């Protein structure tokens, strides 16, 4: 049977490469990894012709020769980071490697023979699907791997990270205990990520501190408390207090997807005397600028229904700002948040506290579905949000999340922008 070409897509540090290794162990095949990050020369895939000095086979055949197996599990790491330059386009050369219809006769320039790659199980990994060439993306079977919830991170830390770090720092397995509450504090206050790499580093810091205690004092406390964590890791790096309330009219909380997982965005609006113009700041991309214009126009067109005065639109300039101006922001999920922030500023009503939202808007007043729902919802949970507004078509995405991870969050599924305002404005 021809193997499907799997592509694990997800944020860094969630174990895409490790999963490939586990697949190889499970099906009892040899495992080989080819890193494609920064690869920009086509001959690295296809091999050099023998006329060149220093000619050698391509990386694919080198790996097969090294592993001495014609049917290994081959991980093509970071397939979205393949570059292109005047020496050719390696992602187009990968088409021949990965297409099940062609790769039974893969031609390597150095070998000068056709080699059958159809028995190899290829697994690609990527962080961002938009960077993969469309023709190459078409041949991949993409499996979305989303970030971990806090509960999952606690289990990963207990079962894998703690035993590994204790062993690496020469500590006995039962020398001291770390409770779930303490692990949760480390995850919430010292890491802001989808994967567990930063968590692994923080646990390593705790182990170094414990190793030092043994050397200096000869004994350890049986359990690590919350106070000990502050002594070892310093003051908390991240605070959720900031996100929980937006006390003044004109401030709404949106949910964003970044390639390292979900995050929360403040959208601030301020009105000033003027001629009814709209000003946007905060390093926004074209999609977000268009969403803001759409929101402004829709509010102006439906001012009477919503209870706004049309005079305000003509006499007041609206300024929308998204903090962290150094970070570029773009994407189609801030439409309803911008619209709510504008409506809040024009009506003088505050947005309900502990409420976040995500969704795109149309001039007809409809709310459209968006992607990255799991990451966004988990980010909202981490930040103490209690209610989330999103498009009714995204309900199926929420159904895929383990109910344990989103306990305590109330979801509002909406079809129109009017419904969003009815829920959000108090």
Which two tokens mark 110? 């150095």
pLDDT, mean of residues 138-166:
88
Residue tagged 């005047």 (tokens)? 86
Predicted confidence (pLDDT) per residue in 349-372, tens digit? 888 888 889 999 988 889 988 888
Which residues are paired to 412 by β-bridges?
389
33: pLDDT confidence band, cut at 50, 70 and 90? very high
> Residue 294 CA to chain centroid, in angstroms?
27
C-alpha span between 57 and 188 (Å, rounded): 48
Q: Is 387 helix (H, G, I), strand (E, B) or coil?
A: strand
Contacts for 403 with CB less than 8 Å, ≥ 6 apart: none
pLDDT, mean of residues 115-141:
87
Closest CA to 152 of 411, 382, 383, 394: 382
HSE-CB for 163 with a 13 A CA cutoff:
5
HSE-CB for 280 with a 13 A CA cutoff:
17
**pLDDT at position 242:** 58
User: What pTM was computed for the model?
Assistant: 0.78
Q: Is 18 a catalytic residue?
A: no
Asked if residue 380 lies in contact with residue 255, where contact means CB atoms within 8 angstroms, the answer is: yes
Asked if residue 385 lies in contact with residue 356, where contact means CB atoms within 8 angstroms, the answer is: yes
C-alpha span between 381 and 388 (Å, rounded): 10
Contacts for 141 with CB less than 8 Å, ≥ 6 apart: 4, 5, 6, 7
Predicted confidence (pLDDT) per residue in 286-331, tens digit? 888 888 899 888 888 888 887 777 877 888 888 988 887 666 777 7
Residue 244 has pLDDT above 60, yes or no: no
| Distance in Å from the first CA to the final CA of the chain | 60
Residue 204 has pLDDT above 70, yes or no: yes
Domains and CATH numbers, the chain: 6-144 (3.40.50.300), 150-233 (1.10.8.60), 241-424 (3.30.230.10)
Asked if residue 387 lies in contact with residue 406, where contact means CB atoms within 8 angstroms, the answer is: no
C-alpha span between 37 and 185 (Å, rounded): 34
Q: Is 293 a catalytic residue?
A: no
Predicted confidence (pLDDT) per residue in 381-407, tens digit? 877 788 999 999 988 988 888 888 788
Q: What are the two backbone dihedrals, phi and then psi, of residue 25, each rounded to the nearest 5 degrees? A: -65, -40
C-alpha span between 63 and 67 (Å, rounded): 6
pLDDT over 90 percentage in the chain? 18
Asked if residue 50 lies in contact with residue 112, where contact means CB atoms within 8 angstroms, the answer is: yes
Q: Is 321 helix (H, G, I), strand (E, B) or coil?
A: strand
Contacts for 219 with CB less than 8 Å, ≥ 6 apart: 213
**pLDDT at position 243:** 53
Closest CA to 269 of 357, 332, 327, 339: 339
Residue 81 has pLDDT above 90, yes or no: no
C-alpha span between 204 and 168 (Å, rounded): 9
**pLDDT at position 158:** 92
Which one from 194, 291, 333, 344 is the annotated catalytic residue? Answer: 333
Q: Is the dihedral of CA 67, 73, 77, 79 positive or negative?
A: positive
H-run or E-run covering 155: helix 150-156
C-alpha span between 140 and 97 (Å, rounded): 12
Most confident of 20-34, 209-223, 238-252, 401-415: 20-34
Which one from 316, 376, 381, 383 is the annotated catalytic residue? Answer: 376
Q: Is the dihedral of CA 91, 95, 96, 99 positive or negative?
A: positive
**pLDDT at position 326:** 60
**pLDDT at position 1:** 65
Going along 299-353, which residue ranges are E strands?
Answer: 316-321
Which two tokens mark 96? 């021949």
C-alpha span between 36 and 30 (Å, rounded): 19
151: pLDDT confidence band, cut at 50, 70 and 90? confident
């Amino acid at each position: 049977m021809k193997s499907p070409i799997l592509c694990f897509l997800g944020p860094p540090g969630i174990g895409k490469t490790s999963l490939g290794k586990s697949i190889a162990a499970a099906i009892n095949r040899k495992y080989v990894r080819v890193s494609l990050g920064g690869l920009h020369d086509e001959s690295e895939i296809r091999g050099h012709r023998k006329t060149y000095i220093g000619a050698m086979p391509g990386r694919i055949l080198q790996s097969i020769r090294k592993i001495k197996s014609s049917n290994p599990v081959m991980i093509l790491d970071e397939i979205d980071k393949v570059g292109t330059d005047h020496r050719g386009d390696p992602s187009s050369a990968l088409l021949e490697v990965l297409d099940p219809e062609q790769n039974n006769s893969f031609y390597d320039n150095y070998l000068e023979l056709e080699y059958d790659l159809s028995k190899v199980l290829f697994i690609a990994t990527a962080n961002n699907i938009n960077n993969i060439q469309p023709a190459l993306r078409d041949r991949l079977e993409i499996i979305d791997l989303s970030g971990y919830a806090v509960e999952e991170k606690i289990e990963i830390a207990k079962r894998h990270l703690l035993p590994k770090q204790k062993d690496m720092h020469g500590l006995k397995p039962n020398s001291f205990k770390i409770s779930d509450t303490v692990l949760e504090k480390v995850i919430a206050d010292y890491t802001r990520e989808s994967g567990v790499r930063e968590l692994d580093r923080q646990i390593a810091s705790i182990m170094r501190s414990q190793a030092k205690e043994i050397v200096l004092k000869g004994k350890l406390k049986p359990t690590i408390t919350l106070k000990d964590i502050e002594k070892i890791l310093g003051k908390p790096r991240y605070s959720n207090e900031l996100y929980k309330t937006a006390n003044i009219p004109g401030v709404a909380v949106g949910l964003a997807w970044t390639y390292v997982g979900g995050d929360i965005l403040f959208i601030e609006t301020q009105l000033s005397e003027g001629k009814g113009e709209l000003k946007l700041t905060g390093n926004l991309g074209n999609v977000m600028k268009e969403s803001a214009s759409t929101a402004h126009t829709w509010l102006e067109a439906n001012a009477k229904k919503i209870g706004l005065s049309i005079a305000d639109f003509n006499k007041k300039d609206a300024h929308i700002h998204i903090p962290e101006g150094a970070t570029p922001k773009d994407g189609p999920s801030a439409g309803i948040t911008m619209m709510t922030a504008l409506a809040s500023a024009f009506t003088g009503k505050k947005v309900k506290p502990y409420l976040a939202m995500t969704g795109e808007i149309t001039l007809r007043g409809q709310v459209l579905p968006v992607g990255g729902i799991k990451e966004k919802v988990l980010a909202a949970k981490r930040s103490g949000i209690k209610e989330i507004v999103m498009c009714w078509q995204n309900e199926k995405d929420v159904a895929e999340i383990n109910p344990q991870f989103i306990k305590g969050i109330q979801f509002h599924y909406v079809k129109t922008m009017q419904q969003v305002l009815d829920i959000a404005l108090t």
